[in-house]
Chain A
Amino acid sequence: MKLITAVVKPHRLDEIKEALQAFGVHGLTVTEASGYGRQRGHTEVYRGAEYTVDLVPKIRIEVLVEDDDAEQLIEVVVKAARTGKIGDGKVWSIPVETAVRVRTGERGPDAL
């Protein structure tokens, strides 16, 4: 199994979710995150005091998949997340040793 993690622009969430559903993914986890890459941040002004806000809002999407599906699923996420502008984010995968469905105790690919 693999864990696919995507840190992307918040407003792409719906597109990514729909693309994943179309692909046949049954579940995912979303967390609000903040960070920066090459995009860096933006400047805000309060009564003339300028602040550089370098941590910008992002969302992190995590999906567990079977090994064979991983590459294709990454492509699906990347396609749905892309706007072509700087700050679109990153997607990566890492191997997962085991997974358990809490309700039934099923293990491995059966738990997905």
Chain B
Amino acid sequence: MAPAITLAADAPTLSAANTGFMLICSALVMLMTPGLAFFYGGMVRVKSTLNMLMMSFISLGIVTVLWVLYGFSMAFGTDSGGIVGWNSDWVGLSEIGLTELWDGYTIPVSVFLVFQLMFAVLTPALISGALADRVKFTAWALFIALWATVVYFPVAHWVWGAGGWAFELGVIDFAGGTAVHINAGAAALGVILVIGKRIGFKKDPMRPHSLPLVMLGAGLLWFGWFGFNAGSWLGNDDGVGALMFVNTQVATGAAVLGWLAYEKIRHGAFTTLGAASGAVSGLVAITPAGGAVSPLGAIAVGVIAGVLCAMAVGLKYRFGYDDSLDVVGVHLVGGILGSLLIGFFATGKGQSDVAGLFYGGGLDQFWKQCAGVFGVLAYSLVVSAVLALLLDKTIGMRVSEDDEVAGIDQAEHAETAYDFSGAGGGAARTAVTAPVAPAESKKVDA
């Protein structure tokens, strides 16, 4: 995020332009969560499409409420020991004045907090891709609530909160390479190590059921990401937000090319899934770096991320962990790449005067980036694994084998994603003769 404007003479006043821009950015970031739902939803088999969509969608409910109750306060309140924030005035958000400005900026607190809320919603949703087909919906909902509370809110404070240890160390994370992508990717790895593989992993074909849906999701993510990235400067008084906007486009385009080129050479075809995945890998990698690098640097970051993420998605087969939709391969690896490459490609002419190795700055910034990357990675990995273990030992994380094989959509949501059967008005498989009140029918069964 932008450093607070510190003009000695006059305190910042409300900017209508920045406020309007940030409200639009907040809505753009909101759209990323349903976009992600489609991106993931198209990649699973037909029988678990709805569950995949819902795993993202439910975060819009749970995290929104937690954010109002205490999340914003934990992430951006007064610092305690560099670890977590707190501000009792922000509990419930009721003590925030309508025209009160976010300290040092030109936008109201309410705009800042709703923008940040969308990040908090998206991050747990990112994890869900690794857990496809097999997690009880109740367990997932509880996991989101716990994970947001003990992982996301504190980590957001480390990285972006005044007094947070990574923030104070000078770790550069423009829009969430560490707090969002490494955080979610490491959490995904922690959880899947606890809950294990899908039945039939490496044996049964698990082809994406709808690549057009994946493309649509990737497109929505790309679109929303402009708000995510450019909005993270909280205004555009110095042009850095616009630089971020440009670099977001540049790195993502380059990453599409990188992934596709690798794939063509290695596997013989340019796939749509590769193009969509390449786009996301580029978006992830430029997220921390886009304010620090030049557009040519953004091309380098994008190509490196596209190629290395394309290579990384194969690791799960070698090591035998079922990262179902490659959250680790794309978000963890892409987030690490973007964060570390700042140490090489920072020009010193973007968001700060810190230059990386290729621009005469030595390795100082690189070591700081390493501290941020591995601090977040280790904390998120361990705590997420512990949370998953806790839930697994109490209510159980996984659905029954029968339900998983038959399809989690019917077991957990009592719905089917598509009905293509023409016979009997599309209801050939059902035997409903009249509407039945669900509550009453259950009583009869009992």
Interface string of A23-52 (1 = CB under 8 A from B): 000000000000000000000111111110
| A45 partner residues in chain B, CB cutoff 8 A | 263, 267-269, 271
Q: B242 an interface residue at 8 Å Cβ cutoff?
A: no
Q: Which residue of chain B lies nearest to A49 when distances are taken between CB atoms in the complex?
A: B317
Q: Answer yes or no: B274 CB below 8 A from chain A CBs.
A: yes
Q: Do A50 and B207 touch (CB < 8 A)?
A: no
Interface residues in A, total, Cβ within 8 A = 9
Q: Which residues of A contact B207 (CB under 8 A)?
A: 44, 46, 51
B370 touches A (CB below 8 Å): no
Chain B residues near A49 (CB-CB < 8 A): 314, 317
Q: Which residues of A contact B266 (CB under 8 A)?
A: 48
- Residue of A with least CB distance to B269: A45
A46:B273 contact, CB within 8 angstroms: yes
Return chain A residues, CB-CB under 8 Å to B208.
Answer: 46
Interchain nearest-CB distance for A5 vs B (Å): 21
Contacting B at CB under 8 A, from A36-86, are 44-51, 53
Interface residues in A8-33 (C-beta closer than 8 Å to B): none
Q: Is B277 an interface residue (CB 8 A)?
A: yes
Which residues in B have their C-beta under 8 angstroms from that of A53? Answer: 205
Closest to B259 in A: A47
Give A50's nearest chain B residue, CB to CB: B267
B326 at the interface (CB under 8 A from A): yes
Count of chain B residues near A, Cβ 8 A: 17
Q: Are A48 and B313 in contact (CB under 8 A)?
A: yes
| Minimum distance in angstroms from B325 CB to a CB of chain A | 9
Chain B nearest CB: distance from A48 CB in Å?
A: 5
Q: Report how far A73 CA is from B244 CA in the complex, Å.
A: 69
B273 neighbours in A (Cβ, 8 Å): 46-47
Query: What number of A-B contacts does a CB cutoff of 8 Å give?
Result: 30
Q: Give the chain A neighbours of B205 by CB distance below 8 A.
A: 51, 53
B277 touches A47 (CB 8 A): yes
Least CB separation from B329: chain A residue? A47
Smallest distance from the beta carbon of B239 to chain A beta carbons, Å? 37
Verify if B310 is at the interface (C-beta below 8 Å from A). yes
Q: Is the CB of B271 within 8 A of A46?
A: yes
Contact call B313/A47, Cβ cutoff below 8 A = yes
- Chain B 182-217 per-residue mask, 1 if CB under 8 angstroms from chain A, else 0: 000000000000000000000001011000000000
A50 to B273, CA, bound (A): 13
Residue of A nearest to B43 (CB): A46
- B258: shortest Cβ distance to chain A, in Å? 14
Alpha-carbon distance between A45 and B271 when the two chains are bound, in angstroms: 8
* Distance, CA A47 to CA B326, complexed state (A): 9
* Mask: chain B, 303-316; 1 = CB below 8 Å from A; 0 = not: 00000001001100
The reply to whether A48 and B310 form a contact with Cβ atoms under 8 Å apart is yes
A107 to B123, CA, bound (A): 68
Establish whether residues A47 and B274, one from each chain, have CB atoms under 8 Å apart when the complex forms: yes
Q: Among A44, A48, A49, find the residue whose CB has the most chain B CB atoms closer than 10 A.
A: A48
Residues in A neighbouring B314, C-beta threshold 8 A? 47-49
- Please indicate the chain B residues that have their CB under 8 angstroms from the CB of A50 in the complex: 267
Q: In whole angstroms, what is the CA distance A84 to B207 when docked?
A: 31
Contacts of B310 in A (CB 8 A): 47-48
Give the CA-CA distance A53 to B206 in the complex, in Å: 12
- How far, in whole Å, are A49 and B329 apart by their CA atoms in the complex? 14
What is the CA–CA distance of A49 and B208 in the complex, to the nearest angstrom?
11
What chain B residues lie within 8 Å of A46 (beta carbons)? Answer: 207-208, 271, 273
Counting chain B CB atoms within 10 Å of each CB, which of A46, A47, A49, A53 scores highest? A47
Residues of A within 8 Å of B268, CB to CB, are: 45
Q: Given the complex, which residues of B lie within 8 Å of A47, measured CB to CB? A: 271, 273-274, 277, 310, 313-314, 326
**Closest beta carbon of chain B to A52's beta carbon, Å:** 8
Residue of A nearest to B309 (CB): A47
B47 to chain A minimum Cβ distance, whole angstroms, is: 17
Max count, chain A CB within 10 A of own CB: residue among B207, B266, B310, B326: B207
Q: How far is the CB of A111 from chain B (nearest CB, A)?
A: 23
Given the complex of chains A and B, what is the CA–CA distance between A45 and B310 in angstroms? 13
Q: What's the Cα separation between A45 and B208 when bound, in Å?
A: 11
15 contacts across the A-B interface (CB closer than 8 A): A44-B207, A45-B267, A45-B269, A45-B271, A46-B208, A46-B273, A47-B271, A47-B273, A47-B277, A47-B326, A48-B266, A48-B267, A49-B314, A49-B317, A51-B207
Which B residues have a C-beta under 8 Å from some C-beta of A? 205, 207-208, 263, 266-269, 271, 273-274, 277, 310, 313-314, 317, 326
Instruction: Report A's interface with B, CB cutoff 8 A.
Output: 44-51, 53
Which 6 pairs show the lowest CB-CB distances between chains A and B? A45-B267, A51-B205, A47-B313, A48-B314, A46-B273, A45-B269
Given pairs A46-B273, A48-B263, A51-B205, 19 additional interface contacts (CB within 8 A)? A44-B207, A45-B267, A45-B269, A46-B207, A46-B208, A47-B271, A47-B277, A47-B310, A47-B313, A47-B326, A48-B266, A48-B267, A48-B310, A48-B313, A48-B314, A49-B314, A49-B317, A50-B267, A53-B205
